[in-house]
Amino acid sequence: MNQKKSLWKIITGSREVSLLLILIVMLIVVQILSRGTFLTPTNIGQIFRNNALTMLMALGMLCVMLTAGIDISITSTLAFTGMIIGMLQKRAGFTNTFALFLLAALIGIACGFLNGLIISKGHLAPIICTMGFMYIWRGLAYVVSNNQWASGADVAKFAEFGKDGSVGPYIILIIAYVVFFIVMKWTTFGRRIYAVGSNADAARVSGINVDRVLIQVYTIMGLLAGLAGALSVSIYASAQPNMQYGKEMDVIAACVIGGTSMNGGRGSVVGTFLGALFYAVLAKALPLVGLDSIWQNLIKGVVVLAVVLINVLTQRTMDRAALERREM
């Protein structure tokens, strides 16, 4: 066998490498088109800040999708927790930033745990269960809001943490990605998630408690959605019951671009990071190539669809080549 892999094989063989290359090419093109004004520290900072919520939740979605599941309740969880901590500040004058984040995390954990419990023990399709909670948490966010918003002045102190120029959101992102990178690759806990998604029956036979793993991943997803709720209030200095409505699809799309398979068992933290980053850079770069921001969604949609279709086509070519090699 050929020990040295050709460069082409490395590029096409690994989603991470090919995505990184595309990202670099895109950055160079945009950098040239913008006459060197794109890659400034402020711009880069904003790319991350504007997409912090998606990037954070993409990690949880990665775990969920690795088990061949999906969670579309996340932005409702986000709105529900965001609304609670927003109202706590507005009505109760509770302003301890750390405590608010902790509370948001706990609410998120509770929401996610419910998802996991019903999906694993009640054998409900993940999409149905999380769709139910999508309605419930969003509805409760409205109930909590009681037709009021928490806006700038109400959450002024809390918004210090996430305001433009504060390092808060970046720290959360960095910690989350480092922790997940380590956990998913180097702990048995992370590998069990892969195992369950790759072949749940085999996992059961080899003594892995599949139900528990499912509960764990949805709980993690909930935790991150809760944190994203707090982060959202902090970054945008407001809490509204309709916040991030429909954005769960962005999170799923980021994972898919990053190479996470909807059939489970395939996906990585690095890929997810690059997928989310790709999505973010695309949004920021469009105005620079002369396209209004209203083009954003259309381009995003085309990219998502193109990525999944190209994936299928490459897989087919590879399978075909393997069949032709088979001697007869």
Which residues in 20-79 contact another protein (CB under 8 A)?
70, 72
Binders of another protein among 92-151, rule CB under 8 A? Answer: 118, 122-125, 127-129, 131-143, 146-147
Give the list of residues 6+ apart from residue 226 with CB closer than 8 angstroms, or none: 77, 78, 81, 104, 105, 106, 107, 108, 109, 111, 112
Q: What is the distance in angstroms between the CA of the first residue and the CA of the last residue of the chain?
A: 20
Measured from the CB atom, is 176 or 203 closer to another protein?
203
* DSSP reduced 3-state for 93: coil
CB 48 within 8 A of CB 280: yes
Least Å from the CB of residue 178 to another protein: 14
CB 225, CB 81: distance < 8 Å: yes
The yes or no reply on residue 297 touching another protein (CB under 8 A) is yes
Cα distance between residue 257 and residue 294, in whole Å: 21
- Tell which residue, 68, 74, 82, has the closest CA to residue 54: 74
Looking at residues 157 to 216 of the shown chain, list those that interact with another protein (rule: CB under 8 A).
182, 185-188, 191, 194-195, 197-199, 201-203, 205-208
Interface stretch with another protein, choices 47-55, 152-160, 227-235, 251-259 (CB under 8 A): 251-259
Give me 277's structure tokens: 């980053």
The residue among 97 and 198 lying less far from another protein, judged by its C-beta, is: 198
Which of residues 265, 270, 271, 275 is near another protein by CB under 8 A?
Answer: 265
Q: Report yes or no: 85 and 103 within 8 Å, Cβ to Cβ.
A: yes
Least separation in angstroms between residue 153's CB and another protein is: 24
Which residue, 189, 187, 65, is CA-closest to 130? 65
Residues that contact another protein, how many (by CB under 8 A): 80
Q: CA-CA distance, 260 to 288, in Å (whole number)? A: 29
Q: Does 266 bind another protein (CB under 8 A)?
A: yes
**One of 40, 314, 315, 317 touching another protein (CB under 8 A):** 315
> How far apart are CB 97 and another protein at their closest, in Å?
29
Q: Is 247 among the residues that bind another protein (CB under 8 A)? A: no
245 binds another protein per the rule CB under 8 A: yes
Pick the closer one to another protein by CB: 141 or 159.
Answer: 141
Measured from the CB atom, is 148 or 151 closer to another protein? 148
Helix (H, G, I), strand (E, B) or coil at 167: coil
Determine, following the binding rule CB under 8 A, whether residue 314 of this chain makes contact with another protein: no
